[in-house]
Amino acid sequence: MKRRNSQTAAAASIFSALAFLPLGAIAEHKCDNPLSTIDQRACAKAAEGPAELRNFVSRTKTIWGLYYWDYARRDDQGTTASAPMQPAPAVDAALKTATATTEAR
């Protein structure tokens, strides 16, 4: 009987913890209301542009564990990728081989 009561109490405590989990706070964008200093710095980099934000996140990932999409707006991703891509200029294959051989030495 005692064991069943402790199992019931454990299940009830887990259920109540999950029931009151603030799911709305998890889903919001971090730049809407940056609380910490690192969030403010990341939002400032996001305002500068996606390349600056990506560089900042990669430099501080091991320290702060930042995630790019917490600070980058998903609706902004189309604006940076909408520029048409230009093909790379043709380079003579012999020139490439000579350059690679020289660099390998």
> Over the stretch 27-74, which tens digit does the pLDDT of each residue have?
467 888 888 999 999 999 999 999 999 999 999 989 999 999 989 887
> Over the stretch 64-92, which tens digit does the pLDDT of each residue have?
999 999 898 876 554 444 455 566 666 55
Q: What string of DSSP letters covers 49-85?
A: -HHHHHHHHHHHHHHH---HHHHS-GGGHHHHHTSPP
Sign of CA dihedral 7, 13, 29, 62: negative
Is residue 102's pLDDT more than 90?
no
What's this model's pTM, rounded to 2 decimal places? 0.47
Residue 21: the pLDDT is 58
Q: Give residue 24's pLDDT band: very low, low, confident or very high (50, 70, 90).
A: very low
